[in-house]
Chain A
Amino acid sequence: MNKTEAKGTGITRRKFMIGAGATVAGALVMNQIMPRELKAVEPPKKWDKETEVLVVGTGYAGLAAAIEAFDAGCKVVIIEKNPFIGGNSIIASGAYNAVDPGRQIKQGIKDSIDLHYKQTIEGGDFKGDPEKVRFMVENALSGLEWLEKMGVEFEPTVYTVIGALWPRSHDPVKKGRGGAIMKALKAQADKRKIPLLLNNKLTAVVREKPLSGPVMGIVVNEKGKKYFFKASKAVILATGGFGADVAMRSKYDPRLDKDVPTTNVPSATGEAIIAAEDEGADVTGMDYIQLLVACNYYTKKYGSLTNLGIDSAVFVNTGGKRFVSEDSRRDVLAEAVLKQPKKVLLWVADEKCTKRFAPQLTEKIIKDGLSFRAQTLEELAKILKEKFDMPEAELLSTIKKYNEMVKNGKDEEFGKQAANLKTVDKPPFYASPTQAGVHHTMGGIRTKGTTCEVLDRSVKVVPRLYAAGEVTSGVHGANRLGGNATADCIVFGRIAGINAAKEKSWS
């Protein structure tokens, strides 16, 4: 460009101010459209904050990791991007799968570690990492007992949470659900005086050199201000999945656009996966995204009378007919529902099922007309005729046939397992119109074996970087069993904390 052309720009003060305004406005707009412009970051000359083990995320895995690292003698800090703790964990059902002879034998349930392993591997279409799966099922009970030591009380009986395939799901008592586990873990973190910084969001992982060397810390955004946080031992990513990020999930499964609801918290947006990728971390299984039939037909939000257990329940379509075995894998259920009229299933259950649901919430949902209740099956059939034009006789015939099959101990139609067969005959009766929503992202950051160390694309460990929970991949294969995520997060969250604590500090 010559001098004349430079003069020819004709920039006046007014135009400059307009241009500057446009730039700022443009930046604001771009910030909304592209909220995660992440890139490799050089270590700073001076770090703003410092600890030994820095845990990112406050769900089950994050708090378990923080507590274990602290108990191993480390200085620990936890950061959380939200103004509240818990992510998906605090809204989860809290069902925890573990082979537990102490409870199961009393209920006459036969189970084994090998069966849990087999069902998890097969249920994930053999896409899970056998080493990780074996480790999880073998350590699930000790993880449960650790939670009990942390103050979580579980029900004395087990059941089959939806998609669990076998009665080995443990619920916290008093319908406390995932919130009860989180409250107990938070109380333990507080007891240890582990600092927990809310509104602190990871924006980048810092390695010694871009894409090489050990992880030294991270860049954090606290209410718009960025700072560098040094972790002299390790950084643990426990940031959850990306089920609520429409752009990210539909990149891997184009069907999961904005019209598909989600059961997740809106902040399940997976930025840490991208931040780790920016520093060379590998990811696997990103297109294994689970849908769960748990969203209400009317609100499209989590809030039906769901997660009631599937034993004394029958799933029918708007024609009043069964179309799938109620104890199927979650992906089988979701795909089956998507093929039904209005993409809805009516979860028809009796009083036995609702015992696992908080009574006041049941009342609220019924009052709001989001689910239905009747004292007789005939009355329930009338309601469903009115709401979904369901043929009354068809529904009554379906339930009658189902109850007969339960008494004979065999589901001849869809092969529901004998262990999950209970009659639907105890009033009041419920019907809950339910749809599939994005629930869990099985893919994520690739970790080494059972150490929780993050691997790069050359299958080398990214030194001092650990990950646990939904942010990782490999445990659940292509489809997660219901109740296995809680076990995954606790088992591997603890290991991440223990292993991070073993690192030697740099200074």
Chain B
Amino acid sequence: METRPLLKHKGILLFTTILLPFFLLPFFGSDTAWSQPKIVRDARPGDCIACHGDGKALSKNHPGTTTMDLKTCKTCHKDEQAEGKLPVSLAGKLPLSHMHTLGGTDCKACHGEQLKPLGADNCLTCHEDYKAGGNRLNTSLPKVHDSHMGDLSCDLCHKVHGKSVNFCSQCHDWKYKVP
């Protein structure tokens, strides 16, 4: 019986060579502040442009940030700022790793000299009092850190090296800004 070689099948070739890259584009190809930047290891924490390039991480009219630290950022980006008004809080705008480095806690402070991977349990080393915090920005919402879900792993919401997510929003229509 004559069989047709798999890779000679025009449909598969069409899919792999032309359509597949488009299919995968949303996963790898998006060009936003959250997409993987080039990593400049000796850049200052406030030097957004060094890694992200111009016009991606910061708006056009944003003042230069190279010498800024977290305290300086917060002179405009106040945590207490009402939702919807500019300039807004940095909560949810920067990965927590950036917030940490801007605040003076560098990678080695958590990961050690060897830059070892860490679990979320390590957050409690510094943030033992986390239950007292939570939803500073919208006090009308329930205290998320004392919810019916009990003790949850920090990284269900707070992504140190990515965009944080709102775990509660799977069921509740609550709009938290998750730092």
Contacts and interface: CB of A to CB of B under 8 A. Distances in A.
B20 A179 contact: no
B16 A19 contact: yes
B171 A19 contact: no
A322 B136 CA distance: 43
A52 to B, nearest CB: 26
Contacts of B109: none
Contacts, number: 84
B3 A5 contact: yes
B165 to A, nearest CB: 12
Interface in B1-18: 2-3, 5-8, 12-13, 15-17
A137 B177 CA distance: 46
A179 B147 contact: yes
A430 interface: no
A5 B6 CA distance: 12
B152 interface: yes
B150 interface: yes
A60 B6 CA distance: 51
Contacts of A260: none
Nearest to B5: A9
B156 A21 contact: no
A501 B88 CA distance: 57
Given A91-B148, A179-B149, 4 more contacts: A18-B13, A84-B150, A86-B149, A364-B141
A358 B6 CA distance: 62
B22 to A, nearest CB: 12
Nearest to A365: B173
A363 B2 CA distance: 72
A85 B23 CA distance: 35
B152 A265 contact: no
Contacts of A176: 148
Nearest to A22: B16
A10 B9 CA distance: 12
A79 B148 CA distance: 20
A179 B173 contact: no
A251 to B, nearest CB: 24
Interface in B126-142: 140-142
B142 A83 contact: no
Nearest to B170: A266
A9 B7 contact: yes
Contacts of A186: 150
B5 A364 contact: no
20 contacts: A10-B8, A18-B7, A18-B13, A18-B17, A19-B6, A19-B7, A19-B12, A25-B23, A90-B148, A91-B149, A179-B149, A180-B148, A266-B170, A299-B173, A301-B173, A302-B171, A364-B140, A364-B141, A364-B142, A368-B173
B153 interface: yes
Contact of B148 (A5, A9, A179, A299): A179
B38 interface: no
Closest 5 CB pairs of A and B: A179-B148, A9-B5, A22-B16, A299-B173, A18-B16
A15 interface: yes
Contacts of A363: 140
B172 interface: yes
Given A18-B17, A19-B16, A25-B24, A360 B172 contact: no
Contacts of A18: 7, 13, 16-17
A303 B170 CA distance: 12
A20 to B, nearest CB: 10
Contacts of B23: 25
A84 B120 CA distance: 13
Contact of B172 (A177, A179, A266, A301): A301
Contacts of A299: 173
B21 to A, nearest CB: 10
A239 B92 CA distance: 34
A86 B150 contact: yes
Contacts of B171: 91, 265, 301-303
Nearest to A266: B170
A21 B28 CA distance: 15
A160 B105 CA distance: 54
B149 A25 contact: no
A21 B7 contact: no
Interface string B30-64: 00000000000000000000000000000000000
A370 interface: yes
A33 interface: no
B176 to A, nearest CB: 12
A182 interface: yes
Nearest to A92: B148
Contact of B2 (A5, A178, A198, A296): A5
Nearest to B143: A360
